[in-house]
Amino acid sequence: MDAEPGTLRRIARGAFRALDLSRRVFWNGVFLLFVLLVLAALFRGGTKVPKDSVLVLNPRGDVVEQLTGDAADRARARLAGGEPRETLLKDLVDAIRRAKDDKRIKVLLIDADGMGGAGLSKLQDLRAAIDEFKKAGKKVVAVGDGFDHGQYYLASCADEIYMHAEGLLLLEGYGRFATFYKEGIDRLEIDWNVFRVGEYKSAVEPFLRNDMSEEAKTANRGYLEDLWAAWLRDVSAARRKKPEELQHTIDHMVELLREASGHAAAVALKAGLVDQVGGREAAEKRLVALTREEEDSHSYPRIGFRDYLKAGPRDRSGAKGRGDAVAVVVAKGPILDGTQPPGRIGGDSTAALVRKARLDEKVKAVVLRVDSGGGSSFASEVIREELARTRAAGKPVVVSMGSVAASGGYWIATSSDEIWASPSTVTGSIGIFGMFPTFQKPLAKHLGIHVDGVGTTWLSGALRPDREMKPELKEAFSTIIQAGYEDFLKRVAEARRMERDAVDRIARGRVWSGEDAKGLRLVDQLGSLDQAVAAAAKRAKLGEGYRVWYVEKDPSLKERLTASLLTWSADWIGVRVDEAPGGLLASWMRALRARADELALYNDPRGMYAACLCEVE
């Protein structure tokens, strides 16, 4: 028989049991808290809309066709304080359109202070929705500490514009500027091997020159002037002025500032570009007069557009609807090989969304919404082939171009029955390039590092960045790039029913505005996404009762629970979605980092790209 445990052993055993019990209680508590949070996230009540409310339209960051990452990614980033500063265009448009017929909403307030970049086509879509709101007999008020040309375009849609007395209205217009690296590359003695077809294919110029070529300046000036003319036309009409008057104010800003003793707000007021200098306090009094004063806050009742959308139907994508559908597949961002997250176009992942629409019996037509400067030519072809299969299945395919649909963005548009573009779309850039830098010279000169060896073929080790590129390999790459360009021309010629040489004359990497592209037969119609959807429905012979379904990847149960929990947690602790840090230097650094990040993502298996670095500033 065992001996009776000693006192020390009994104490140790009791302590262990207590520790084990504490561990179980702790982790069971954590699990229970997790379950409660998930249930709260899934079944939380809807947001209430106060009566006589002001709907606050305050986009933060860039206005985009598709948010970057999935819902869980964005919620994680919010909790970490680093959420991408983006606002979905569809969210803004949906909120305005719903509020138009909502008796609880009396006024729309535009607060564009936190808005970053927004292509003119996106601003025009917002303008159309705001005009519908105004036609319903409702007021629109805009307020801002100051405005750049994008923010002011949105503000000009309002009936009344209020600006701070110390604010600056800076209408700098559109520009296309690039950073050039040739001298630095030469100083470092890097061999930056570039292969391209098309004298207008300016995406590679920063690595070949210290300035912009005359060909690139000619092409850029052409579409930029079209965009600026549209901006002047729209803003002048909204402010009941002539475009020449607005241009005169911009051209003579220095003189006008001198006359106003340097007070920019006074210049804007005198020119009729704002209605009152007084900022948010003056706007608040006006909004109280247009609605009512709340007893607690002594201000006007309001609701942000994000909360307003939460108060409405949850199925805004159209996925749960019944009946025949027009499927919309959004292709936004750089085109890359393989599977990519939202905000990037993956050859496999975007093709999978098209395939999903093709195989759905309720889908009778597909609209591809393109907002991309291109990227991998291989991935572009994967997507184009899937669109071709959709057409072969008897489902019409209509392409709707957003702010940019150039190079690879145009490549994927070629397999369609109809192409729609905004007059201010940047498109074309039909051309191909490839780059392969080698660093053997600076490695040897500055670090004393050399590479040598043997291989079984002349290609062995030929693609090492620390070895000089062989002339034979350069010739091979040039041949591949030329063949890629010929394939591009062939795709366009067949799709647009044009001769190869006719396409070549308007291709060679040149960029066009949507308005010019229509005259060149690169697009069929000028109009919005809504018009493109209607055109697709007409081709499919659908009646009035069809639904619009924005096709997205189906998240797993784990992804849905994670996204709901993280989003609820971020909301619960009050994490804000703020605008990106301001300032010209911060803006420049963000743009430089974004360009480097984009180039680092390029993964075409052949190293061949149909890309246009044609952002408009």
Q: What is the DSSP string of 151-216?
A: HHHHHTTSSEEEE-TT--EE-----------HHHHHHTT-EEEEEEE-TT-GGGGGGT-SS--HHH
DSSP letter for each residue of 384-401: HHHHHHHHHTT--EEEEE
Which helix (H) or strand (E) segment is 428 a member of? strand 426-428
- Residue 126 belongs to some domain of the structure: yes
Beta-carbon contacts of 44 under 8 Å, excluding residues fewer than 6 positions away, are 568
When divided into structural domains, the chain yields a total of: 1
Element containing residue 539 per DSSP (H, E):
helix 529-539
Among the listed residues 202, 407, 424, 513, the single catalytic one is 407
Are the CB atoms for 106 and 52 separated by under 8 Å? yes
pLDDT for 422: 97
CB atoms within 10 A of CB 449: 12
Residue written as token pair 């949906």: 94
pLDDT at residue 315, rounded to an integer: 79
For residue 113, what is the domain's CATH number? 3.90.226.10
In a domain, 334, yes or no: no
CA distance 346 to 334: 8
Known catalytic membership, residue 261: no
Residues in the chain: 617
Residue 44 domain-assigned?
A: no
Residue 297, pLDDT score: 86
- Whether residue 171 is contained in a domain is answered as yes
Residue 496 and residue 522 in contact, taking contact as beta carbons nearer than 8 Å: yes
In this prediction, the residues of the chain whose per-residue pLDDT falls under 70 are 1-16, 18, 20, 22-23, 25-46, 70-84, 555-609, 613-617
- What pLDDT does residue 68 have? 87
Does 297 reside within a domain? yes
Whole-model pTM: value is: 0.85
**pLDDT, position 578:** 45
For residue 365, what is the DSSP state?
A: E
Which pLDDT belongs to residue 85? 79
C-beta atoms surrounding 113 within 10 Å: 18
For residue 139, the cross-strand partners are 107
Closest of 247, 274, 263, 308 to residue 54, by C-alpha: 308
Neighbours of 465 (CB within 10 A): 14
Measured CA to CA, the distance from residue 599 to residue 151 in angstroms comes to 29
Backbone angles phi, psi at 427, to 5 degrees: -140, -175
Exactly one of 201, 332, 364, 518 is catalytic; name it. Answer: 201
Please check whether residue 67 lies inside any domain of the structure. Answer: yes
The answer to the question of residue 213 being in a domain is yes
Q: Is 407 a catalytic residue?
A: yes
Interval 28-66: pLDDT, tens: 665 666 655 555 555 555 578 999 999 999 999 999 999
Report yes or no on 567 lying in a domain: no
Quickly tell me which residue has 């996925």 as its tokens. 319
570, 75 in Cβ contact below 8 A? Answer: yes
Residue-range definition of the domain harbouring residue 281: 53-176+208-231+274-310
